[in-house]
Amino acid sequence: MHSVLRICVLLIAILLCCPACKKKEPPKRKREEIVGEASRERRRLNNFAMSLRRVIDWRQTQPIASTEALRRSMIKEVVRKFDEINTRELPAKAEAIWTRVLAAWHELDDAGTADPELLKKGAAAAQELNDYLAENGFPDVRL
């Protein structure tokens, strides 16, 4: 009986002291891994929304275009400001929607007249962007 007890104690001591038997601690994760892709996408979307909000706020401070020339120059300036917004790392869905919105604004700038079909297309793209931004925590950013 003593020999069985002695063998058990010896085996337990070996298991406790054996480096191969010890549980290895996971390597420390880098900060970027901890932050994760979801956080980076959120930050990118936040930056996009803030840039878009600045353009919208700027436009609201401008006087109403009383002539066709003023309206065209205002459209040109809005398009220029929209083009300057950084969209390189937006989530794919947001980038696709923004591309349609921007294309509609460019068409409006190029057309010179507000074609009802173009306005309808632009309004649909803007509404899709508004819905996407609202779903993602930016209900105040509205085109």
31 pLDDT more than 80: no
| pLDDT given at position 114 | 75
Handedness of CA 66, 69, 73, 76 (dihedral sign): positive
29 pLDDT more than 90: no
CA 112 distance to own-chain centroid: 32
The whole-angstrom separation of Cα 49 and Cα 140 is 10
Q: Say which DSSP state 37 is in.
A: H
Helices 31-60, 92-111: inter-axial angle, 10-degree rounding: 20
Indicate the pTM of the whole model: 0.71
22 pLDDT more than 80: no
Q: What number of other Cβ atoms are within 10 A of residue 25's Cβ?
A: 6
- What are the tens digits of pLDDT across the range 59-114? 999 998 889 889 899 999 999 999 999 988 888 899 999 999 999 999 999 987 77
